[in-house]
Chains A and B, each alone.
Chain A
């Protein structure tokens, strides 16, 4: 065997070894764990980021840490939980005396919550998604004194689904996780 063909043979052998190594790693990733493609509870399909409202502490970082401006996290209203309160603790600043739509009385820094009269004494609150920055001030108010129907959620038509969510990295409550693309919301509600 001359030098040239010996070198060729060694290169081929190393190539084969690398491909074999890749196959082993791939096999390990596909078979070993529960939830992998051929393991139990298959879930290796595409995933998206979502935040668990039960863990969220409304620190306000969703508004500042997202790579999107404004953030892909928005206040989401689970109407099925809402009490339609006149004095909405997610809408009004604490200690507000006269309940009207004056901007200085609103918790929301961008006036993204629209308050409309339904019937005495009930008011409907809707979120203007274009204005919402995801700061979670209303969520905190609603959760503290109300039913907790206002919740922060990653809105998937805005989210870029970064490989590593930069909000998740900075979330103090570890509320973010990857969820299956087929079930992308963690909104909590009664009868939901």
Chain B
């Protein structure tokens, strides 16, 4: 019965049709019982809330360990826990860095609702940083924890090199927002180097990228955090304005210089007591030049962004489809790519797709200009930051770039409250120097 049935239906239905009951369900006489289709359930909703609870608890504990307890050991163990929980157990998803994109997509598009868990993962570290500094980076972020473990022989890098490489996160953040706002791609997730390590499964290229980051991380401490992390840009801004922040010394700085080389991330600002280290005239001239240059950098950036908008738009799958449709019309002998086949069978008129793509390209033009202007502004402000020489008497952590990891605290011989010097600590450290 079925053999002849096949031949007949084969001639009738040459195209793929979904779910047509060509063969009636048999009526079994042997008492055969139809098996049930197994549909395993996903991880429960309650466990998603457990992640949120762990995040908030870890953030609170990290802030307490840094600001009150001043315990580097505590921060280390907490970061190890975060690495195991958010990294290896939760496999690096959901993460605060990637949540930037969910929030952006939610703000800019009408048909995407941000999951509440992703929204909390985005906001909670920002709020904690605004209050207590970047304690999230110190002990909660699994990426930071992983890189902290390998940073055994950190090198010092100059301020200009730090600032130059520090521009990359701005580019990354700007692009991530541009692509998320246009519902094009989540590039932070796509080029996430460490998620492959957490899952022990990744493409060769991403493994290589992670390997390079970890090996270079032995000498350049936390390369991802400092020179790539887009969320770090936001945390940097928050931390600059933070209500409280970690201090190197628990009481008054005695200028012993023991902490001078303790920071693997070049995040300690040295005392700067000279009024004008390069001469007043020169300083003022440079400042005027940069302030005049700043609007030019913004306009120039916006102009360059506008030039690149077609390239950026090319990442969007719909734009890609249209460009494919336009180019493959000529060569008919090649097999059609599945995208075009799917589009033809979907029954959407080509004019509608063209109109949609024109709108997307317009969005990209505006978005790319804003992106370019943003990069120009960030570059200008970085230059201004480099020539500013604010007056400082003590060794203090740079609020923007300090991860509040607490490594420098162990180098400080001053004991809290009493303001006395712990001779044992100072001796141990001078011996090591």
Q: Is the CB of B338 within 8 A of A86?
A: no
Asked if A2 is an interface residue, CB under 8 A from chain B, the answer is: no
Assembled-state Cα–Cα distance A44/B120 (Å): 12
The answer on a CB contact under 8 Å between B22 and A145 is yes
Give CA–CA (A137, B99) in the complex, Å: 36
| B55 smallest CB distance to A (angstroms) | 15
**Which A residue sits closest to B49, measured CB to CB?**
A46
Interface of B is mostly: loop
How far is A126 from B21 in the complex, measured between Cα atoms in Å? 19
Q: Chain A residues near B3 (CB, 8 Å)?
A: 86-87
B25 proximal to A (CB < 8 A): yes
Q: Which residues of A contact B94 (CB under 8 A)?
A: 163
CB pair B238–A18 under 8 Å, yes or no, is yes
Distance between Cα atoms of A124 and B33 in the complex (Å): 11
Contact indicator per residue, chain A 32-48, by CB within 8 Å of chain B (1) or not (0) = 01011100000111111
The minimal Cβ–Cβ distance linking A21 to chain B, given in whole angstroms, is 11
Contact flags (1/0) for B329-345 with A, using CB distance below 8 Å? 00000000111011001
B159 adjacent to chain A (CB < 8 Å)? no
Chain A contacts with B in 5-34, Cβ cutoff 8 A: 11-12, 14-15, 18-19, 22, 25-26, 28-30, 33
Distance in angstroms from A24 CB to nearest chain B CB is: 11
A148, B9: Cα distance in complex, Å:
13
B29 contacts the other chain (CB 8 A)? yes
Q: Does B30 contact A (CB under 8 A)?
A: yes
The smallest beta-carbon distance between B33 and chain A, in angstroms, is: 10
A106 close to chain B: CB less than 8 A? no
Bitwise interface map of B from 200 to 214 toward A, beta carbon under 8 Å scored 1, else 0: 011000000000000
The residue in chain B whose Cβ has the minimal distance to the Cβ of A129 is B38
Enumerate B278-293 residues with CB–CB distance to A below 8 Å. none
Q: Check A19/B18 contact, CB under 8 A, given A67-B201, A163-B94.
A: no
B37 close to A15 (CB less than 8 A) = no
Write out the residue numbers on chain B whose beta carbons fall within 8 Å of the beta carbon of A161. 42-43, 93
Query: Contacts A54-B18, A78-B37, A163-B93: A83 and B24 contacting too (C-beta < 8 A)?
Result: yes
Binding stretch for chain A, among B100-108, B302-310, B404-412:
B100-108
Contact B26 A122 (CB under 8 A): yes
- Distance between Cα atoms of A47 and B136 in the complex (Å): 26
- Residues 123-166 of chain A, each 1 if its beta carbon lies under 8 Å from chain B, else 0: 01010000000000000100111111000010111011111101
Report whether A15 and B241 are in contact in the complex, using a CB–CB cutoff of 8 Å: yes
Decide if A119 touches B29 in the complex (CB within 8 Å): yes
Residues from chain A with a CB closer than 8 A to the CB of B28 are 118-119, 122
Contact status A83-B23, CB under 8 Å: yes
Q: Is the CB–CB distance between A187 and B37 below 8 Å? A: yes
Asked whether B6 is an interface residue with its Cβ less than 8 Å from the other chain, the reply is yes
Q: For residue A44, give the distance in angstroms from its CB to the closest CB of chain B.
A: 5
B165 at the interface (CB under 8 A from A): no
Nearest CB of chain B from residue A176's CB, rounded to whole Å: 11
Complex CA–CA separation, A71 to B91 (angstroms)? 16
Contact A173-B342, Cβ < 8 Å, known A79-B34, A164-B186:
yes
CB–CB B42/A26 < 8 A: no
**Cβ contact within 8 Å between A35 and B34:** no
Question: With A46-B45, A140-B16, A181-B42 in contact, do A29 and B2 touch (Cβ < 8 Å)?
Answer: no
Q: Cβ of B41 and Cβ of A79 under 8 Å apart?
A: no
A103 interfacial by beta-carbon distance below 8 Å: no
Known A-B contacts A84-B26, A163-B101, A163-B186; the reply to A18 vs B241 at CB < 8 A is: yes
B6 contact from A37, A89, A126, Cβ within 8 A? A89
In the complex, B243 has a CB within 8 A of chain A? yes
- Distance, CA A166 to CA B275, complexed state (A): 55
List the B side residues contacting A18 at CB < 8 Å: 130, 238, 241
| 7 further interface pairs, Cβ-Cβ under 8 Å (given A30-B119, A161-B42, A184-B39) | A26-B123, A68-B199, A118-B30, A146-B23, A156-B41, A164-B190, A173-B338
